[in-house]
Amino acid sequence: MSLTTSGQGSGTPSVQGQVLQGNRSWAQIVGRSQHSTISNGIRRKAIILYEDEKFLEKDRAMKASAALQRALRPEGVFFDFGAAFPNKTAVYKALKSSFPTVLGAKPIPGRRALLEVSFGSEQEANKAIQEGLEMNGIVYKGTPTVSSETEFVQVHLHDLYLVDKEDLLQAITNAMDHFGKIAQIRMYIDQETEMFEGEATVVLDRTIPKNMPEDHYADLDSREVYFPDWDDMIQVTFKGCPPKCRYCGGPHRKAECPKLAAIVCYECKEKGHIRRRCPYQREQRAQKKKHTSQSNFEDLDDGDMLDAYERKKQKMKEKEKEKEDEEDNVMVDVQAKNVSEDLENNTVVEAMTMDAIEPQDSKENGDEI
């Protein structure tokens, strides 16, 4: 952002072609500039382009396993009752009524109401999965447990080509299917305008199929993935992805950047940082600030310190007096208002006699009102 002058010889500062009225701080100028930028798309909603039929079951089972901090029992079945768990006694009674061989049940802590159930026979376990448990007219189908070796990886795709849904789905599938079995693909659009902004996610099931080698899927070890449909590299991020240098953009941390290590500081002549980030200069500024504050304190003698204390004490007294005066003024205003209201009421009530409103002491002394 640059500060320019509007008009010829006017000398009036302006930011991005807009004239600044009055004196404004740089914080206000920067704040106004930031408000005028385009939204970064935080308010988004997802559209599912593809989803494997077993993905939700596996995902729920993995979340339940993570909540229990152990693998689910191989013979177990768990039920998802949504956000609110029904009455536990009613659920247990319904389980015993529908499945006589039920062995036990255990609630799974978390945001959703999940219940792990063990059955005494494989037939009843299959019945719970296929037919489900009916309560209050709602059928809750059981979900079988999954292997603890199931591995889901969510990959975020950035700066995608702005194409229609069919072309986007095909491009993502062709680029990501060799990293794992695609379980879900979602594209993100603006919540208000439904405009696609080039962001999407893909969930990969990287569980190695049976009788397949360990290198069945390609390693996901880069922040860039080649998209053959577009003949271009697309930026991706995922949990555990390699670091990205904030200085040169390489696959390493900034502290390990070889280009930054070759830079010579103009202040201390050491390598590895610029003058603005110089630790020696930073230490000098801190020491100077500390020395200045101590020097100002040491320059004060006892008389100066006493005078400063008396001035502060006098200011506190003046503030207290001003506060008392304000309270007195408020009380006077309230009393005047009450008197005015009383006078108005007295003029309205004409039927009242003068003796009724005359004070007692006036009657005794014979004074007139």
Q: For the whole model, what pTM was predicted? A: 0.49
CB 229 within 8 A of CB 175: yes
H or E stretch at 238:
strand 232-238
Domain boundary among 144, 177, 195: 144
The C-alpha angle with vertex 321 and arms to 316 and 324, in degrees rounded to 5, equals 130
Q: Tell me, what's the pLDDT at 195?
A: 93
- Choose among 19, 132, 8, 138: nearest CA to 78: 132
Question: Is residue 168's pLDDT more than 80?
Answer: yes
Question: Can you tell me which residue has the tokens 């006589």?
Answer: 100
Question: How many whole angstroms from its chain centre is CA 358?
Answer: 72
Average confidence (pLDDT) over 75-96: 79
Q: Tell me, what's the pLDDT at 349?
A: 47
**What are 225-266's pLDDT values in tens digits?**
999 999 999 999 998 888 888 778 777 787 788 887 788 887
Residue 97 lies in a domain: yes
3-state secondary structure 132-152: CEEECCEEECCEECCCCCCCE
Of the chain, the end-to-end C-alpha distance in Å amounts to 78
**What are 57-75's pLDDT values in tens digits?**
666 666 655 555 454 555 6
Domain boundary among 144, 170, 199: 144
Range(s) of the domain holding residue 17: 3-27
Question: Is residue 287's pLDDT more than 50?
Answer: yes
Amino acid at 117: V
Q: How far is CA 250 from CA 41, 46, 78, 260, 277, in A?
A: 26, 31, 45, 11, 20
CATH code (residue 116) = 3.30.70.330
Residue 140 lies in a domain: yes
Q: Tell me, what's the pLDDT at 222?
A: 87
Q: Cα(99)–Cα(102) distance, rounded to whole angstroms? A: 6
Q: Cα(249)–Cα(159) distance, rounded to whole angstroms? A: 16
Average confidence (pLDDT) over 346-365: 47
Residue 105 lies in a domain: yes
On whether both 21 and 77 belong to a single domain, the answer is: no
Residue 115 lies in a domain: yes
- Choose among 210, 201, 162, 202: nearest CA to 44: 201
Residue 259 lies in a domain: no
The total number of structural domains in the chain stands at 2
- Choose among 287, 257, 281: nearest CA to 268: 281
On whether both 77 and 23 belong to a single domain, the answer is: no
Q: Cα(56)–Cα(77) distance, rounded to whole angstroms? A: 14
Q: Which residues contact 74 (CB under 8 A, 6 or more apart)?
A: 145
CB 183 within 8 A of CB 205: yes
Residue 269 lies in a domain: no
Residue 120 lies in a domain: yes
Residue 12 lies in a domain: yes
**What are 298-321's pLDDT values in tens digits?**
555 555 555 665 676 677 777 777
Average confidence (pLDDT) over 335-360: 52
CB 227 within 8 A of CB 200: no
Q: Cα(334)–Cα(346) distance, rounded to whole angstroms? A: 19
Domain boundary among 94, 128, 144: 144
